[in-house]
Structures are given as C-alpha cells and as structure tokens.
Structure 1
Amino acid sequence: MTKGGNGAIAMSTQLSESDKITSLQFRKPRKEDGANVWKLIKDTRTLDLNSSYSYLMLCEFFADTCVIAEKDGQLIGFLSAFCPPESNDTVFVWQVAVDESSRGMGLGKKMLNELLERKSCERVRYLEATVSPSNVASQALFKGLAKRLNCPYEVLECFSEELFPGVGHEAEPIYRIGPFER
C-alpha cells in the first residue's frame, strides 16, 4: 500500500488569466449529450475512448453522478462517475475530461466539487478512481482533492497490466480518498 490519489484526466496549463471561464455552468448530462461527450473524450487523445454507446448509457442512466461543464452553451468538460452497488458510501470516478481550450483552469477540480455537492452523493464518504502511473495530472487532481478535504488517501493495486487485452496498457492502481466529512 502506498499513500497517493485517483482517476483519469486530461489537462495542461495553456490559458492566461485573461482567458478565464466567464459563463461556466454545471449540469447533469442528458442522453443527447452522449455523442458530444464521446467526441470530447476522443479529442483529449489521452483518455481511453470507450464506445459511443457507453457514453449514451452514462448520460442516460448515471446522470446523477456525472457532470457536464459548459461555457457559453458549449461542452468543455465531462466527469463520469457512479456509486458501486455494494458501497453506498463510495463514488467511483471513471473519467475526467477537459476540452483543450479550457485546460489549466481547475475545471477538473470544479467538476469534482460539483459532484460531491450533489444530493446523490450526500452519503458518500469515499471517492475512488483508477489512475495509470504515467497520468501525473490525474494523480495531482486526486491528491489535491484529499488535501482540500483534509483526509487521507491510499493507492492500492486494482487492475494489473496483464488484465488488459492487447499490449501497451499500463496498470491502473486505485486511489481511495477518505473518509471525509460532508
């Protein structure tokens, strides 16, 4: 067991202070968002691209634990998450994606905060996510969350390289943050 953080995110620092998001809104996704979410994930070029069907399902059946971020009505961020059926005090964050035009402004952090403030997460005391060893941005995001929540985190083995079909997928250890207070 190693102390650490969790999740998948594509971010970089590219925007100046004058480029700050002015009309940022968060909302639950709708099934009509699925195609745009798929395109956003594809355009990150760093996150695993799942089938378009999976994003339609997330938007339709997991809307309470997924977050859409919009600027001037345009999709600029998506966070997918769900509460595992056997753990009513845990939310698992699957992917955090930020459009290239909005990276480096803390949007991933804002989407995590939006998620944790929702009624659907009122019983949540732990946040989990898997993060590959090379995904430094996601590691920083989840370690930062643990620090802001003033709670411990640990990094545990979850999905080894051998479990992934084909060649070239890194292991995905799990970051477990918590317990934290609401």
Structure 2
Amino acid sequence: MAVNTETEIIYRNPIAKDGASVWELIRDTETLDLNSPYCYMLLGDYFNDTCMIAEHEGDIIGFISAFRSPRNLERLFVWQVAVARTHQRQGIAKNMLTYLLKQKACHGVRFIEATISPSNKASHRLFLSFAEERSIPSTVTAGYGADMFPDRSNHEDEPLFVIGPIINEI
C-alpha cells in the first residue's frame, strides 16, 4: 500500500469485497464496458496483484485491472482504467499505473499493452504521456476490429497500444 500524502490518496491492491464499489465506479464512467459485479470480485480475489485501487477518504475513486500475459510474462495487459469524475485530471490514473508497475507481481514486465477505442481520449492521453514522460517507445496496431463484436453492441474498434520495451524499473 502506498499513500500520496499531498492528496491523501491511498493506492492499494483490490480485494474481493471491493467488487461492488469498483462496478459502480466503472458504471459511473459511462465510457467503459461494464462487466458483472462478479467479474470485479474475481479480479480483486484472483488478479489483485496486477490490479490497483485509488482510495480517498474511504471511497474507491480509481481502478486499474490488468494481468500478465500467460504466453509472454514480459507483457502486462491493462484491461480497464477508471477514475471518478470528481478526481479526474489529477494524475491519479498515471499514479495507479506507476504503483502497479512497482508491485512484485510486475517485476520483469517490459511491455504494457492496452486496447483503447478511438473515443476514449483520456486513455489515449494516459498511455501516450506515460510513455513520453519516461522516453519509452510506443506503437499502435490494429487490435480488435469493431466487426469482431456482436452486431448489436455498436462497439468501436479497439486498437492495440504497446508501450515498451521498458528498460529501467519504473
């Protein structure tokens, strides 16, 4: 657990009982795909060492879900990044990502991957500025096309952003 004393935000790994609050946070963003509350409970239970919570005054105000690729442990796939509207543009998402990469479970990660729809400008800024500030190369490739999603979902393309290789520890 890390505490940012300037803003009194606690950065920590989630636990299963955070699932309902994380679900509400994701729902309230109105931009991310909303999974079941059970999914967020599972992330807090089984993947908590590669996920991160930002907490302020007992409320969950930020969440990152991620996992290491079972095919290539040098790659960390960041699935969702959410910050409460009341706390956006304060560097919380970038702090969560930084704290996440410092976790023991992320030692040896050399690449960060994420698929980001074109309309999600905040995530574009997050990942590109994270790479630029650390002088880490980044690329964008095809990822998942809109045609891969069910017809009724009206889902956008999900281009794949890759940051790396990360040479030095973050």
In structure 1, the residue corresponding to 2:73 is in which secondary structure? coil
Letter in 1 for 2:43: L
- Local SS of the residue matching 1:83: strand
Instruction: Report whether the alignment pairs 1:144 with 2:129.
Output: yes
**Bigger shift: residues 35-44 or 165-174:** 165-174
What residue number does 2:163 align with? 177
2:97 equivalent in structure 1: 112
Q: What is the CA RMSD across the aligned residues, in angstroms? A: 1.3
1:150 partner SS:
coil
Residue type matched to 1:23 in 2? E
Q: 1 CA distance for matches of 2:44 and 2:14?
A: 5
Cα distance between partner residues in 1 of 2:125 and 2:119: 12
User: How much has 1:53 moved relative to structure 2?
Assistant: 1.4
Q: Which one of 147, 151, 168 corresponds to residue 154 of structure 2?
A: 168
Q: TM-score, normalised by structure 2?
A: 0.92
C-alpha deviation, 1:149, in angstroms: 2.2
Q: Give the equivalent residue in structure 1 for 2:70.
A: 85
- CA positional deviation for 1:130: 0.3
TM-score (norm 1): 0.86
Aligned equivalent of 2:110: 125
| % identity of equivalent residues | 47
Determine the C-alpha separation between the residues in 1 that align with 2:61 and 2:116. 21
What is the number of residues matched between the two proteins? 163
Q: Check if 1:66 corresponds to 2:54.
A: no
- When you count strand as a share of all residues, which structure comes out higher? 2
Dislocated runs of 4+, deviation >2 Å: none
Q: Any stretches of 5+ residues in structure 1 without a counterpart? A: 1-20
- What are the ranges of 5 or more consecutive residues in structure 2 without an aligned counterpart? 1-5
CA contact (8 A) 1:150 1:180 kept: no
- CA offsets per residue over residues 85-140 of structure 1, 9 Å max, x none? 01110100000100111111011111110111111111000000000111111111
SS class of match (2:33): coil
SS of aligned partner of 2:61: strand
